[in-house]
Amino acid sequence: MYQYNEEDQRFLQQRCDQFREQTTQFLAGDLPAEEFQQLRLRNGLYVQRLAPMLRIAIPYGEVSAKQLRALAAITRDFDKGYAHFTTRQNIQLNWPKIEAMPDLLGRLAEVNMHAIQTSGSCIRNITSDQFAGVAIDEIADPRPWAERLRQWSTLHPEFNWLPRKFKIAITGAQSDRAAIAVHDIGLRLQSDDAGLYFQVWVGGGLGRTPLIGVCINSRLEPKHLITYLTAILRVYNQFGRRDNKYKARIKILVKAMGKLDFEAAVNNAWLALKDGPETIDEDSIAQFSAHFSRPNYLALTDQTAPSEIIATDQPFERWRAQNVLPHQQPGYAAVHIS
């Protein structure tokens, strides 16, 4: 998984210190609630009817054992000993105290975690296939690209005040476990004789107006990923509605403009960006990919014990059929545990 460097860690600590000062000012009455609202939302803090709620990001769904233990300790120390896993690879705490929030975020930062942009009208947590890196049907590992998008979108000055929240998902497998068609932007990695490319979907979503997204680019070269997504977001930022939050998502804009006109608007915006400074070079993505190298798997052969158990234990077989998937590495399996 991605390893934070000194600059990453320094950024998280600065963010914690900044929010500590803002929280202190708010609790002292020196910062109005309406001004504090947008500051806390950008740090994942909601104020709900019964208690605050903190949403913690799990970028592209990957969490280490060390981080999971830290999360467990945080739920005991700051909440009621449990947390909720969301459908978009976040974790929510439902009973933290506002005055304890800076300390909580500091504890998260110690294990390279945060709650930045898990709420508010900005680009939210980048999600992916939960079996990325091990799925047997994987065409290409989407995690380096998801991490590249995470770093690009975090505190992006142009897209921090969008008409509404914005969700991006990416998959690199034949089976779409990331549900890209119901995201604001969905990305599917594909491959042919010419190499890797992306299919780009926009305008999907669930909620009160469920819509399936449309494909506006069936073959985008990977080097153009950032510039093309920037063009999409510029069109949305310019033409998306801000007068009615129920009509402000990009899916409403795509439906109103129509696929062809929206695609044309994106391509027009892209003209000023294509092959510009945000074009991704091969060395850059290679550096990101190095963080996601395969672990040192043991040399195992396919096991016969499961088949022997299956023959005599039907409840186990039902569980296995629903929760065990083939793995890229012989002798291993990917397993759902809940």
DSSP letter, residue 119: S
How far apart are the C-alpha atoms of 133 and 327, rounded to whole Å? 9
Q: How many CB atoms lie within 10 A of CB 164?
A: 22
The secondary structure element, H or E, covering residue 333 is: strand 333-335
How far apart are the C-alpha atoms of 128 and 165, rounded to whole Å? 18
Tens digits of pLDDT across the chain (338 residues): 898 999 999 999 999 999 999 999 999 999 999 999 999 999 999 998 778 999 999 999 999 999 999 999 999 999 999 999 999 999 999 999 999 999 999 999 999 999 999 999 999 999 999 999 999 999 999 999 999 999 999 999 999 999 999 999 999 999 999 999 999 999 999 999 999 999 999 999 999 999 999 999 999 999 999 999 999 999 999 999 999 999 999 999 999 999 999 999 999 999 999 999 999 999 999 999 999 988 899 988 766 666 777 778 889 889 988 999 999 998 899 999 87
Amino acid 129 reads D
Angle at 14 between CA 12 and CA 17, to 5 degrees: 110
How far apart are the C-alpha atoms of 174 and 198, rounded to whole Å? 13
Number of residues that this document lists for the chain = 338
Residue 54 near residue 106 (C-beta atoms within 8 A): no
Instruction: List CB contacts of 278: < 8 A, sequence separation 6 or more.
Output: 152, 226, 227, 230
**Which CATH number is 127-290 given?**
3.30.413.10
What is the dihedral sign for C-alpha 121, 113, 326, 328?
A: positive
Tokens of 234: 């510029």
How far apart are the C-alpha atoms of 200 and 187, rounded to whole Å? 5
Q: How many CB atoms lie within 10 A of CB 271?
A: 8
Q: List the end-to-end C-alpha distance of the chain, in Å, as a whole number.
A: 22
Q: So where are the chain's domains?
A: 6-110, 127-290, 305-335
Q: How many CA atoms within 13 Å lie on the side-chain side of 151?
A: 16
Amino acid 111: pLDDT: 97
SS3 67: helix
User: What are φ and ψ of residue 47, in 5° steps?
Assistant: -110, 110
Amino acid 312: pLDDT: 85
Amino acid 49: pLDDT: 77
Tokens of 119: 């709420």
Residue 198 near residue 191 (C-beta atoms within 8 A): no
DSSP letter, residue 241: -
Minimal CA–CA distance to 179: which of 130, 247, 252? 130
Instruction: List CB contacts of 237: < 8 A, sequence separation 6 or more.
Output: 158, 159, 162, 163
User: What are φ and ψ of residue 95, in 5° steps?
Assistant: -135, 30
The partner residues of 274 in beta bridges, in order of sequence, read none
DSSP-based helix, strand, coil % in the chain, nearest 5 = 40, 15, 40
DSSP letter, residue 295: P
Amino acid 214: pLDDT: 99
Which architecture characterizes domain 6-110 according to CATH? 2-Layer Sandwich (3.30)
How far apart are the C-alpha atoms of 164 and 239, rounded to whole Å? 12
DSSP letter, residue 47: E
How far apart are the C-alpha atoms of 163 and 250, rounded to whole Å? 9
